[in-house]
Amino acid sequence: MGRGGRIKYFLAVLTCANLAFAAAGCGAGGGVQDENAGSVQTADAETAKTAGESDAVSEQETEPEQAAVQDPQEWAWDAADEQTLRYAFANEFGGRAGVCVPMAALSDAARMEIVKGQFNSVTMENEMKPDSLLGNKPNIGEDGFPVLSFTVPDMMLKEIKAYNDTAGKDGRKIMVRGHVLVWHSQTPEWFFHEEYNVDKPYVDQQTMLARMENYIRQVMEHYEGEDSEYKGMIYAWDVVNEAVNDTDGGMRTDSSWFRVFNNADFVEQAFVYANRYAPAHIKLFYNDYNDTNPKKADGICRLIEQIKANPEARIDGMGMQGHYDMDFSDVLFKQSAKKYAAVVDEIQITELDLKASRGFDGTDMEEEYQKQAEVYQSLYDAVKSLKQEGVPITAIVFWGTDDRHSWLQSANAAGGSADGTRVQCPLLFDKEYEKKPAFWAFVDDSRLEQAE
């Protein structure tokens, strides 16, 4: 192939399906996106042009390179991949296998081996949250807005990038779920107050919207800007987390976001700004827990409808956090997933773990492991049957690599059996990083039956 032919070939493979690394947009988000054409196009047309140009330039210097394949069902594998979560998920329901990692995992080689050996999606446990980027004390720039600090999450992104360069097969490359832009928790209180001073009143709504827009713009520029070394690594953002209450599906009121607005407008606006600044290949999610509660699911769907009614907003997906327990109901799970699928294009299980059985005292771990594997198996069967019914679940993300490091081990607000005093075993690898029966529930359930 001559040079001209090679350039054409390269540009041709930069198709819509292959764009996640190229940061261009061909209208992800289906109907919602189409309505947005006006606001999205300007930014995207520019990005598409620049991405095409710079790729063509670098292609002239190097051999033609096949653009990354982003459809899990198209990934090529070899024997080394076979007993991995990412291989199983790609083949069995066409989704990514994800895990949350904190910074501390970076200095734990064995833990990073699990991440790199099993998964192709990573969510930072805390490091991309507003309190991490904004810091404890306000650092205000000349423009009057907080200056964000990305030093901590970027250490993890550098590690992932270096791994991706050597990973070889597309299905082994790790993409990042951005978590989270707008949340009532883990956001410094000063962010909501006049002069960034908690002793002053809350700011008015216009000021708060300007702060929100500036925050989202800074995040997107840092990760997707023309010169960003991380461009294309993030494939989804949780734009808003946990805005709906657990009782009647209305708005959560114990939130400084809500106190400033007194309605759901801040949620809608967050999706307007995310759409304005994120390239179209980044999927924009609403994320929440108690996601199988029918009233809450209905409330979330109402909120999503409000977002969709705004022509400047875009929402692509629903993140079912999936902090479940041993009373997990696959029936309720499927019912809720179908409700979400009626209003968004895709669903991800974004923070999956299982609290131990009620009354579990930590003595018979093997029995609890077995029970847990069965619950995970029923969840996985539900995911696969939803897929058959056309409900697109595009990732299952576990909230941690191993039982030693689960947030459920310490006192927290999770309730139920996770009160900080009871042993928990919520994940797929045990405290010694060994595979548990729950791992085989996903990867090869014939081994699970043998273990019974």
> Which residue ranges make up the site for ligand GLA (CB under 6 A)?
179, 241, 289, 321, 351, 407
* Contact status, residue 156 vs residue 112, Cβ threshold 8 Å: no
* Contact status, residue 194 vs residue 201, Cβ threshold 8 Å: yes
Q: What Rg, from alpha-carbon coordinates, does the chain have?
A: 22
The CB-of-402 to ligand GLA minimum distance in angstroms stands at 15
Nearest partner of 357 among 347, 349, 343, 369, judged by Cα = 369
Residue whose CB is less far from ligand GLA, 351 or 445: 351
Containing H/E element for 395? strand 393-398
Selected catalytic residue, list 127, 159, 224, 242: 242
Residue whose CB is less far from ligand GLA, 35 or 403: 403
The CB-of-111 to ligand GLA minimum distance in angstroms stands at 17
* Contact status, residue 397 vs residue 350, Cβ threshold 8 Å: yes
Selected catalytic residue, list 35, 159, 268, 351: 351
Say how far apart CA 82 and CA 56 lie, in whole Å: 35
User: Which amino acid makes up residue 414?
Assistant: A
The CB-of-319 to ligand GLA minimum distance in angstroms stands at 9
The CB-of-318 to ligand GLA minimum distance in angstroms stands at 14
Residue whose CB is less far from ligand GLA, 87 or 429: 429
Phi, psi angle pair for 98, to nearest 5°: -120, 165
Say how far apart CA 362 and CA 252 lie, in whole Å: 35
User: Which amino acid makes up residue 251?
Assistant: M
Residue whose CB is less far from ligand GLA, 121 or 164: 121
The CB-of-153 to ligand GLA minimum distance in angstroms stands at 13
Say how far apart CA 224 and CA 210 lie, in whole Å: 20
Residue whose CB is less far from ligand GLA, 241 or 357: 241
Nearest partner of 20 among 224, 315, 200, judged by Cα = 224
- Would you call the peptide bond into 260 cis, given omega within 30 degrees of 0 as the criterion? no
Q: Which two tokens stand for residue 45?
A: 């047309």
Residue whose CB is less far from ligand GLA, 185 or 329: 185
Active site residue 351: yes
Say how far apart CA 201 and CA 106 lie, in whole Å: 40
Q: Which two tokens stand for residue 378?
A: 């029923």
The CB-of-321 to ligand GLA minimum distance in angstroms stands at 5
Say how far apart CA 320 and CA 339 lie, in whole Å: 12
Q: Which two tokens stand for residue 311?
A: 């022509």
Q: Name the residue number minimizing CB distance to ligand GLA.
A: 407
> Annotated active-site positions, please?
242, 351
